[in-house]
Amino acid sequence: MNRNDPAELAHECSGKAVDSPLYDRLRIAEIAEGVGDPQCYKGKAGGPPRFKVGDRLRVKDLPDVFYNQTPGYTRGVAGTVVSVVYESPVPEDEAWGRIDQAEWFYLLSFRHADLWGDDDPDTHPDDVVQAEMPERWLEPA
């Protein structure tokens, strides 16, 4: 399979989002060419990040309409911003071909016990899980 051949890619992905007239893989590649993705969206989030390192944020419990990369097990749980990582289109927008609107992404750290309680006798109280998510999914805790 040659992933650079649009005809082969279209066949492999038949029935998926790439069949949408809004999806334009070549346009996405054109934007990222020579600068990499997500760095090609630097400065396109429309302003400074709303949150900063150390902020306590809660992941919103939003409905899954189609696709996202926000882990379901983090919904409704508070975590701490470890890093403001980059600006990029949100996966659920990108799946529909809306790649011209970027927003900030954050790396959050969650205590294992806050996510799953004490479900494992080998769990250490300092165990954490980190997840990266876009600003629209976050609110102050």
pLDDT in tens, 33-71: 655 555 678 888 999 999 999 999 999 998 877 778 899
Look at residue 39 in the predicted model and tell me its pLDDT: 67
Give the rounded distance of the alpha carbon of 125 from its chain centre: 27
ω into 121 cis (within 30 of 0): no
pLDDT in tens, 99-138: 888 999 999 999 988 998 877 777 777 889 999 999 999 9
93-97 contacts at long range (C-beta below 8 A, 24 or more positions apart):
94/28, 95/17, 95/23, 95/66, 95/67, 96/17, 96/20, 96/22, 96/23, 96/66, 97/20, 97/21, 97/22, 97/23, 97/24
Give the CA count within 13 Å in the CB-facing half-sphere of 95. Answer: 11
Look at residue 28 in the predicted model and tell me its pLDDT: 62
Distance CA 65, CA 62 (A): 9
Give the rounded distance of the alpha carbon of 24 from its chain centre: 19
For Cα atoms 94, 90, 32, give the angle at the middle one, nearest 5 degrees: 65
Look at residue 3 in the predicted model and tell me its pLDDT: 43
pLDDT in tens, 80-95: 999 999 998 888 887 7
